[in-house]
Amino acid sequence: MSNRKAGVVAGIVAGVFATLVELILWWLAGFPLPETLFRDARLAAAIVLGRPALVPQPAFDWRVMLTATLLHFSLSVAYAGCLSIVIARASWRASVAAGAIFGLALFVINMYGFTLIFPWFAVTRDWVTATAHVAFGLAAAAVCKATQARRPETCR
């Protein structure tokens, strides 16, 4: 698998995994579903579509969901690509630790740094979102290392 494909696969797998973790934690914590998912989709879509996307619609909004999904996976692939560079020569143990730290750093950057530009994300500063970011980092590191195990120069 090429370096680029490995980054794409790691980003997609980690993006799906983090979303599933988030959905499960919301459900366990009693967050209203699917309302919380749709809220977060509107928050992400507003980065591209502007503030009007923040207003809940009476019907399912495909444009918001598609925009949020494309943005989520684009960022996931970009972030996984960055992480893959950091862990290219690291051991499994170091890579997993780096993935967890990377995920937590993404949480801080996304939920505290980017809120300077997109203040509506402040509402998502909670333990569920932090845990999902850590899960993302762990999954991205694991997929990248699994890919490296098959082909040593992958993820460099």
Mean pLDDT on 102-122: 96
Q: What is the pLDDT at residue 154?
A: 46
Distances (CA, A) of 153 to 15, 132, 144: 23, 29, 11
- Domain of residue 81, residue span: 3-150
What is the number of structural domains in the chain?
Answer: 1
In a domain, 116, yes or no: yes
Tell me the pTM: 0.92
Segment 8-30 mean pLDDT: 97
Decide if 155 is inside a domain: no
Would residue 97 count as lying in a domain?
yes
In a domain, 93, yes or no: yes
Q: Rounded to an integer, what distance in angstroms lies between the CA atom of residue 29 and that of residue 103?
A: 21
Residue 67 located in a structural domain: yes
Task: Write down the pLDDT at residue 148.
Answer: 77
Concatenating the DSSP letter of every residue in 61-114 gives -HHHHHHHHHHHHHHHHHHHHHHHHHTTTS-HHHHHHHHHHHHHHHHHIIIIIG
Among candidate residues 71, 79, 72, the one with its CA nearest the CA of residue 102: 79
pLDDT tens figures, 38-80:
999 999 999 999 999 999 988 899 999 999 999 999 999 999 9
Q: Which of 134, 147, 17, 11 is nearest to 88 (CA)?
A: 147
Q: Which residues of 69-91 are buried (b: 16+ CB within 10 A; e: fewer)?
A: eebbbebbbebbbebbebbbebe
